[in-house]
Structure 1
């Protein structure tokens, strides 16, 4: 029967490269670490570590064994976390990232409400239109918009958003209203992060390349330009809904509007059992409109 004896000590030595550092990590003696690793090697009948006066390194068998043991220990840690934290009040720091404008308008207010429910939580909110490396940056939850890249992260749909092509009545009076996708090349188009706009034609998604005088990654900047009658823009609902309702903007090509895009919570697999992450994602899913 497999045994755990010596596994923790071996992993500690493999990760620190030193029996001394491994002993410090485990708050035990160097002799105890050395003895348990030796017993492990004897039981397996293979050398796991190469010891010299200057360093400790893994043998080929040791590297294979370490990778398997590391995965097992992480599984054990998650199992213990699931049991011990089920009834605990969430506390500590939670790090969240979201796109700038959506984060300012939709996510940040909900996070503030969430913190009022759980006073022992601290928030580190990073608003950025760049996709941060969740592992490298220590991010607990990332809010992402639109289509997701394939990844090993867990994704949960929180809400939806629509993309609207719109212009001012003044612009349309001067340049005319496009009724087909081919007419877009006759108009000034205000270009965002991508120079392609998304549509749906005959139940098929289409991507149309557009051109114009202004290109900017900021939706706020594009909104200002379209409100000043400088062209057409394709923007998410949270930028333009108010202006469409007031009549300052008019939707064009509504019959070609694409399906709703997803608003997602993305988080590393080792976070899904954490109470603070689980509760936060549930809260966002319950309170985001759409």
Structure 2
């Protein structure tokens, strides 16, 4: 079996479409069709069912898929081993990340990254929404939300626990809550996408409704409102790291429950043939997160 033919087969299995597989691989639809046909002729079996709109694997294709993936992983590992670790990154790196995290953590890395890799270009999309990285052609998404697409590949970079926090003046005026029940007597600033605050108590998940005179659709607005003393907030550690350090916000610990723990995760469209520029960027980001935590 030729690696090029195996790569086409795996791409078709992931995309469920010959045309989409061709787009992802940068090949013509005719080339993809020919390579698939060549692989089927060599193996003497039909690997996919073809329709006018989509394709699906035959039982023989399902059997072949894990072996095909192993072949591609071995090929990628061999090529990576033979490359020098000092190779410069090049091409267009397309990244998406949450707005506050991208501004506070990723942006400071960009100047040195570009200076050290003159042939590299970076396109950064900051959004608090989950975007379709495959459809938009994005190389890597930095996410903190729970992952829902099992077809994507995730790499955990660093812990990022949720933190209940408040302005010191707010706590001086209203007191510091000690339990979940106490939160009902406080202004809990809500994020539109997260109307309930998630906690864990005794190994079980539970939630408390965020209720305050002010709510917002962005992490930045919630963080600002909390700093101005409009109420308490539940944000992630990396969103308020600087504020915790300078004392403009303080962490509120509850005796009977802990805020949900999350992680900063890099999401890739596929584990095969990850561009060198993506590896360089992720290594740099992971180093920064590890050094600063």
**TM-score of the pair, normalised by structure 1:** 0.69
| Residue correspondence of structure 1 range 222-233 to structure 2 within 5 A | 222-233=222-233
1:240 is aligned to 2:252:
no
CA distance in 2, matches of 1:83, 1:152: 24
CA deviations 1:247-283 (Å, max 9, x no partner) are: 4333323443335420001102255543222332222
1:128 is aligned to 2:145:
no
8 Å CA contact 1:147, 1:262 repeated in 2? no
Query: What residue is the counterpart of 2:24 in the other structure?
Result: none
CA distance in 2, matches of 1:212, 1:23: 55
Query: What residue is the counterpart of 2:106 in the other structure?
Result: 107
| Residue correspondence of structure 1 range 53-72 to structure 2 within 5 A | none
Question: Using a 3 Å threshold, how does the CA distance of structure 1 residues 224 and 23 change in structure 2: closer, same or farther?
Answer: closer
Quote how far apart the aligned CAs of 1:221 are.
Answer: 1.1
Quote how far apart the aligned CAs of 1:91 are.
Answer: 2.1
CA distance in 1, matches of 2:218, 2:141: 19
Taking only aligned residues, the RMSD between alpha carbons, in angstroms, comes to 4.2
**TM-score of the pair, normalised by structure 2:** 0.69
Structure 2 residue runs without a partner (length 5+): 10-16, 20-26
1:179 is aligned to 2:168:
no
8 Å CA contact 1:205, 1:258 repeated in 2? no
Quote how far apart the aligned CAs of 1:78 are.
Answer: 7.7
Question: Using a 3 Å threshold, how does the CA distance of structure 1 residues 174 and 119 change in structure 2: closer, same or farther?
Answer: same
| Residue correspondence of structure 1 range 200-279 to structure 2 within 5 A | 200-255=200-255, 256-258=257-259, 260-279=261-280
Query: What residue is the counterpart of 2:287 in the other structure?
Result: 286
Aligned residues: 257
CA deviations 1:175-200 (Å, max 9, x no partner) are: 33222111212221110120111223
8 Å CA contact 1:272, 1:278 repeated in 2? no
CA distance in 2, matches of 1:23, 1:166: 53
8 Å CA contact 2:177, 2:254 repeated in 1? no
CA distance in 1, matches of 2:200, 2:29: 61
Quote how far apart the aligned CAs of 1:165 are.
Answer: 1.6
Which aligned runs of 4 or more in structure 1 are off by greater than 4 angstroms?
22-26, 43-46, 62-65, 71-86
- Structure possessing the higher radius of gyration over alpha carbons: 1
CA deviations 1:92-132 (Å, max 9, x no partner) are: 11211101110111012224333333222211111111111
CA distance in 1, matches of 2:183, 2:109: 38
Quote how far apart the aligned CAs of 1:133 are.
Answer: 0.7
Structure 1 residue runs without a partner (length 5+): 17-21, 27-32, 47-56
